[in-house]
Amino acid sequence: MRFHEDVFVAGVGTYRPDVVSTAFAVGASWYDPADREASGMESVMVARDLPGPDMAVRAAEVAVRRSGHDRDDFGALLHTATHHQGPDGWSAPHYVLRNTLDRPITAVQVGPGCLGSLAALESAAYRLLGNPEHDAVLLTCGDNFGTPLVDRWRASKLFLLADGGAAAVVSRRAGFARVLAFGAVSNPSMEELHRGGEKRFPPGITIGRSLNFEERSAYWREQWAQGVAPPMGHFGDVVAETVEHTLGEAGLALDKVARICHSGYTRGALESIYLDPLGIDDTRGTWELTRTLGHAGAADPFIGLEHVWTRGEVVPGDHVLLLCAGPGMETDCVVLEIVAPYEPAKEG
């Protein structure tokens, strides 16, 4: 969908904890040396015992300050989480709200998984266009994967799970990036790939089953060997269709896009799912950043956007794609036009 009325990203902020090098992980026998070599990954963000919602709060403080908005301008907070946030039955979005805007407004959690931040951006834009009562919506996300039931180094060969937080302010008034279009394409026939034969009830986490995508991939390899075809489709085709559709809505060609802020995948997955289907090389994306950080769930596109904007790698007139692939299987894409440069003098 193309947005014919003005909607902006007014502020973006991140919380990036210290990194652990993949060389150290190999030395500690956490990470297989061959997997490290194939991945191209240099390091991964690890937050130790800092909860995901607290990383979201720290990122939000930066995004709100940069936005120029007062707390009373906000009509909603949309929070995204890829991993468990705290006590079962507790509301992480309202914890983030209490420790940021502290206003009596709605706070909800958006998913699924890594797509949540862009789905939240779309929802925020619709809210602002449909309800003129408030001028801004705060988007937050934060995850800590350092829990007993997750092995960040071995859960998937497609990515290394990273801790971190990110936030953005969506505004109807002004901002540094204008939102031109949003698009999403899914192939629900492939949803089974992320189930891998697991029972839907009771949920695995409630009986101590770990998050392990490699086990689910092994299940489908076994099924294939027994003559049972797995769900067919190539995720890269979904990515290419999403980008083509969204750029068409924005009236742009891919060669007019300065940078693509994508998920923090390993080298092979990045090429297979993003780069090759789009016919681009890694310099158009954020590989040199993501290979040092890992895959921080829904925070990835905002981490990339902050990086290229604050470093002056995109300037007014440039176009940026925010691009996420997630479970479902679905890809979401946002087209932005940079309309204001980063001004570090205003950071104080």
Instruction: Pull the structure tokens for residue 123.
Output: 């929802």
What is the 3-class SS of the chain, one letter each residue?
CECCCCCEEEEEEEECCCEEEHHHHHHCCCCCHHHHHHHCCCEEECCCCCCHHHHHHHHHHHHHHHHCCCHHHEEEEEEECCCCCCCCCCCHHHHHHHCCCCCCCEEEEECCHHHHHHHHHHHHHHHHHHCCCCCEEEEEEEECCCCCCECCCCCCCCCCECCEEEEEEEECCCCCEEEEEEEEEECHHHHHHHCCCCCCCCCHHHHCCCECHHHHHHHHHHHHHCCCCCCCCCHHHHHHHHHHHHHHHHCCCHHHCCEEECCCCCHHHHHHHHHHHHCCCHHHCCHHHHHHHCECHHHHHHHHHHHHHHCCCCCCCCEEEEEEEECCCEEEEEEEEECCCCCHHHCC
Q: Which residue has the higher pLDDT, 5 or 53?
A: 53
Interval 8-14 mean pLDDT: 98
Q: Give me the CATH code for the 8-175 domain, please.
A: 3.40.47.10
Taking only the tens place, the pLDDT of each residue in 149-186 is 899 999 999 999 999 999 999 999 999 999 999 999 98
How is the chain split into domains, by residue range? 8-175, 189-225
Residues 6+ apart with CB under 8 A from 213: 155, 156, 158, 194, 196
Which tens digits make up the pLDDT trace of 274-329? 999 999 999 999 999 999 999 999 999 999 999 999 999 999 999 999 999 888 88
Q: Look over the chain and give the mean of its residue pLDDT values, rounded to a whole number.
A: 93
Please state the pTM of the whole predicted model: 0.94
Of 94 and 344, more confident: 94
Q: Are 308 and 314 in contact (CB under 8 A)?
A: yes
Q: Measured between alpha carbons, how far is 199 from 303 in angstroms, rounded to an integer?
A: 34
List all residues 6 or more positions away from 24 whose beta carbon is below 8 Å from its beta carbon.
none
Q: How confident is the model at residue 196 (pLDDT cuts 50, 70, 90)?
A: confident
Place of tokens 């896009």: 257
Length, in residues, of the chain: 348
Q: Tokens at residue 340, please?
A: 């204001």
So what's the pLDDT on residue 13? 98
